[in-house]
Amino acid sequence: MKKQRGFSMMDGILSSFLVAVALVALYGAFGGSYRHSVMTRNQIAAAFLVNSFFEEVEAHPYGSPAPASWPVASVGKVTLVDPPAGWQGAGFPSTQTLPVYVEGRVQASNYHRQLTLANGSFLGAAQGNWDEITLTITWEESGSKVNVTGLKRLTAKRLVWRENGVK
């Protein structure tokens, strides 16, 4: 009887199956990593917007009208609703498009800002020595390679008060 050398058809099918399973597992791991990096990038950009806005609040004199760049939604406690349809193309005061660079390519992300004041005294709409500012940043997690959809929201509150007539 002659010795056979090489692989049988069964060996080839089995090894192809094992390689395919390994590639599917690697693809799933890298795909999950990409989704999490996009979500983290969007959360960091939203936190940047909140910090930037509250730096503007620090510089704003207590009782002065709001600058045009502030998206004042309401004075008083309100129920938060999702941004209106088509908000991604809206103007600057309530929607900002931040350019984010990924591997040298620009990726535009839209963030909707909503500002709510507890009593309005910070912007001169009422009498009082304190006010609570609530800023809500809303963005949409979507994209051709991201399988997460829906609106995401980051809300931050800050108390401001008048100190001896000076903020």
What is the per-residue pLDDT across 38-91, written as a single tens digit (0 to 9) for each? 888 888 888 988 998 898 888 888 888 877 777 666 666 544 455 555 544 444
* 46 lies in some domain: yes
Q: Measured between alpha carbons, how far is 41 from 44 in angstroms, rounded to an integer?
A: 5
φ, ψ of residue 2 in degrees (nearest 5) = -85, 140
Determine the structural domain holding residue 128 and report its residue range. 9-161
Q: Mark out the alpha helices in the chain (DSSP H runs).
A: 9-59
| Cβ-based neighbour number of residue 81 at 10 Å | 8
* 42 lies in some domain: yes
* 91 lies in some domain: yes
Q: Measured between alpha carbons, how far is 11 from 26 in angstroms, rounded to an integer?
A: 23
Q: Measured between alpha carbons, how far is 148 from 140 in angstroms, rounded to an integer?
A: 9
The mean pLDDT of 20-45, rounded to a whole number, is 85
Number of domain units in the chain: 1
* 128 lies in some domain: yes
The mean pLDDT of 161-167, rounded to a whole number, is 61
Q: Which whole-number Å values give the CA distances from 137 to 17, 30, 73, 100, in the listed order? A: 47, 28, 12, 17
Structure confidence at residue 15 (pLDDT): 93
- Rg over CA atoms, the chain: 26
CA-closest candidate to residue 96, choices 33, 35, 50: 50
Pairs from 55-59 (Cβ < 8 Å, separation ≥ 24): 57/133, 57/158, 57/160
* 157 lies in some domain: yes
* 1 lies in some domain: no
> Among 18-32, 100-114, 115-129, which is the least confidently predicted range?
100-114
* 115 lies in some domain: yes
* 3 lies in some domain: no
pTM value > 0.85: no
